[in-house]
Structure 1
Amino acid sequence: MKINLLKSALIGAVTFTALASSYANAHARWLVPSHTSLSGDKAHYVMIDASISNEIFAPDKAYRPEQKGAEYDDNLIMAIGPDGKPVSDKIRAYYLQRKNSAAVKLAGEGTYHIT
């Protein structure tokens, strides 16, 4: 009885490890901004490149549009301003062959979060 219980626990542990490690080998998703530090009183635009790849920051595969044949998406990238509210300007992300690109307008002073 104890051997069967031990065998079942071992099989369960091996199965869990195999499933968990498959997620670790999945393609990484990343965003790269064109600038990380800006100064001045005027609004700035920052270009965002996004991709899915095995190597970090080496574009391999673009995010796929929900609508087949779409060239851009207004909901792919979101910016949160220094006040914690979403940036009101529309952020249009374009689907390219190996990556997505978008321009984000940063109007105010402070730290923005791009997702």
Structure 2
Amino acid sequence: MTNEPRTDIGTPTPDELREQVERTRDELGQTIEALAGKADIKAQAKERTAAVKEEAAEKTAAVADRIRGKTRHAAWLVKDRAPEPVVAEVGRVASVARAHREALLVAGAAVVVFLLVRRSRGYR
């Protein structure tokens, strides 16, 4: 075999064959990597766990924002319509809630995660 250009009948040259073999090797390598990625259950589980954590964090933040808004609204209603002893008691409860904010947020996050897990398993 020589490095001459194609013959009249269209037979590829050795250089063209080498290039074709190299392209085929590259494609085969990419295919193997893709198949290995699909077979890596541990990596897929980590990705799914990270996605669920992120979703839970987003939903927890949204729930916390809604709770804050409803709490402000309830406080406004109580101040306008409730007798002074009730207002004082609500103020005391609000102070305790502010003092234990982290515990309340953790409890809220736990409830959200529980509901997400329950929903993902098909319970209604």
Is the shorter-chain TM-score for this pair beyond 0.5, marking a shared fold? no
TM-score when normalising by structure 2: 0.32
Greater gyration radius: 2
Q: RCO greater where, 1 or 2, for CA within 8 Å and sep 6 or more?
A: 1
TM-score when normalising by structure 1: 0.34
